[in-house]
Structures are given as C-alpha cells and as structure tokens.
Amino acid sequence: MMQLEQWHQIRLQDIPPSPWKNGGGTTQELVCWPTPSNWVWRMSVAQVASDGPFSEFKGVERWFAVLSGNGVALEFPGRREVLGALDPVLHFSGQTPCMCSLTNGPTVDFNLMTQGVLADMKRIHCVDFERNFPAHRTMAIYVIEAGGHIMIDQQPHALVAESLYWARLERDTHVALHGVHALLIQLETNQ
C-alpha cells in the first residue's frame, strides 16, 4: 500500500522564480524528469505579467491551466482560446505559434510539457473524484487551493496548497479526491 508520505512533495514557495529573457514574467520549475537538461516531462508554474508570445518547443506536447488571476486569451493560427482560473486544461503542440494576452492583469499558470510520453492533465474542482490507476504510471497532483483531502488505497491524507505531489506507482493504486481544487496528471513512461 502506497502512502502519500512516499510521494515527492514540492512546495511552490521553496522554488526560486527564474525571470524570463523578455521580462514578461517568471517561471518556477517544479520538476524535470529525469534531469533538467534532458527531460521527457517537465512541470512548472509561471507568473505572467505582460502580453507576449509563448516560446516554441519542437516535438513537445503542452498542457496549460490558469491557476489564479483573470485569465488569458491564447491566439493560435485559426483559433482563439480564452481561459480562466476554473476552466478546463488546454492541450496543444509546443511547436504551434501562440500569442498570450492577459485578460485583465497578471495571471499564474501551470504548465506540463512532455516529449515522447503519453500524458493527460485535468482540473478537478471541488467534486468527488475516484479512480484506479495502473502500476508503472507516474501520477502527480498539483494542489491549487487549501481544503479537501485525498485518499490513497482508502487511507486519508491532507494536502498542502500550492504544492506538487508526484510518484511512480509501483502497484495498482486507488485514488480519491474529495473537495479538492487540483490538477491531476498522469504520465506513461518506460522507466
């Protein structure tokens, strides 16, 4: 039986922000796996202070969610997406040009990027959620707001806001979220 204490926990407040070269914001890199210079998946939180283009990443899939602020408008070739802090996660190719415009002031956003990895990220907003997750998959939960709890194999655990919890599941694991505002991430990796 896997306990939450066996998961990696990364608190946002412990990660120093790195300013962008264009001066439009900062990034707090939560985790790059397996290494920062040679990652196959990467999770980060960005503080976006001004309008500007997203960096292009060839061969990378991206998932994007607004955590706080009044949201953003993302302009892609042929389509426009407007996202706020309660909207579903947006998935797009990292090589697709994207212009980001702030809706009304700065936002804080979560980014998942993968290279050659099957992945999924969804927002769970204060609804009961239960699922069995198969072994040999990496799971992560980013807790957006305080409140609620998680049950792992029927054992309850409290969650800390603005924290990322992640683990590689060694066995099939039952996860239930109750009253939590979080992002739930699954990654299928070979290691």
d(CA 100, CA 106): 11
Domain that holds residue 170: 118-188
Counted domains in the chain: 2
Task: Flag whether 59 is in a domain.
Answer: yes
Which residues partner with 154 through β-bridges?
A: none
What tokens appear for 173 in the block?
């694991």
End-to-end CA distance of the chain: 20
Residue type, 93: S
pLDDT of residue 86: 95
Say which residues have a Cβ less than 8 Å from residue 162's Cβ, sequence separation at least 6.
11, 12, 13, 143, 144
Residue 90, domain CATH: 2.60.120.10
Instruction: Read off the pTM.
Output: 0.94
**For residues 65 and 159, is the Cβ–Cβ distance under 8 A?**
no
pLDDT of residue 189: 72
What tokens appear for 88 in the block?
């579903």
Ranges of residues in the chain whose predicted pLDDT is under 50? none
